[in-house]
């Protein structure tokens, strides 16, 4: 079964607005990662947050992690049309288990 579940499944916003996507997971993790996928392409790694971190920033991206609630959020500020893509969270479980388990993804559409 899937570890991560993104919410919402689809999000449509105007250019310049902020976009927030949420992810919930079920078991303990080493880290949580966010990826972007443009239509028909592979996934691109955006940001990794470790289980002992609560917040991380990278450019216009802000990720939070709440291990007590087993949830994470990805905030994209000042969105652009080029941000249109599917966004996935993925978890790497505890121990030496170097496998990523993905959620179902959020399809973000940024309208110009």
Partner 1 sequence: EADIYQTPRYLVIGTGKKITLECSQTMGHDKMYWYQQDPGMELHLIHYSYGVNSTEKGDLSSESTVSRIRTEHFPLTLESARPSHTSQYLCASLGQGSGYTFGSGTRLTVV
Binding mask 76-95 for partner 1 (x = CB under 8 A): ----------x-x-x-----
Binding-site member from 29, 85, 107, 108 for partner 1 (CB under 8 A): 107
Q: Shortest approach of partner 1 to residue 42 CB, angstroms?
A: 4
Do 89 and 103 meet the contact criterion of CB atoms below 8 Å apart? Answer: yes
40 binds partner 1 (CB under 8 A): yes
* CA distance linking residue 19 with residue 32, whole number of Å: 19
Burial group, residue 55, by CB count within 10 angstroms (0-12, 13-18, 19+): exposed
102 binds partner 1 (CB under 8 A): yes
32 binds partner 1 (CB under 8 A): no
Rank residues 35 and 79 by Cβ distance to partner 1 and give the closer one: 35
Q: Hey, what are 18's tokens?
A: 């902020």
Q: Which residues contact 97 (CB under 8 A, 6 or more apart)?
A: 30
57 binds partner 1 (CB under 8 A): no
Q: Which helix (H) or strand (E) holds 99?
A: none
Positions that interact with partner 1 (CB under 8 A) = 2, 33, 35, 37, 40-48, 86, 88, 90, 98-102, 104-105, 107
């Amino acid at each position: 079964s899937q570890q991560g579940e993104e919410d919402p499944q689809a999000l449509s916003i105007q250019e310049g607005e902020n976009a927030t996507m949420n992810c919930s997971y079920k078991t303990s993790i080493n880290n949580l990662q966010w990826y972007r996928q443009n239509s028909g392409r592979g996934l691109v790694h955006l940001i990794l947050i470790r289980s002992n971190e609560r917040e991380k920033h990278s450019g216009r991206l802000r990720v939070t992690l709440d291990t007590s609630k087993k949830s994470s959020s990805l905030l994209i500020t000042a969105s652009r049309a080029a941000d249109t893509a599917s966004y996935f969270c993925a978890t790497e479980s505890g121990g030496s288990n170097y496998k990523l388990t993905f959620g179902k993804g959020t399809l973000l559409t940024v309208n110009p």
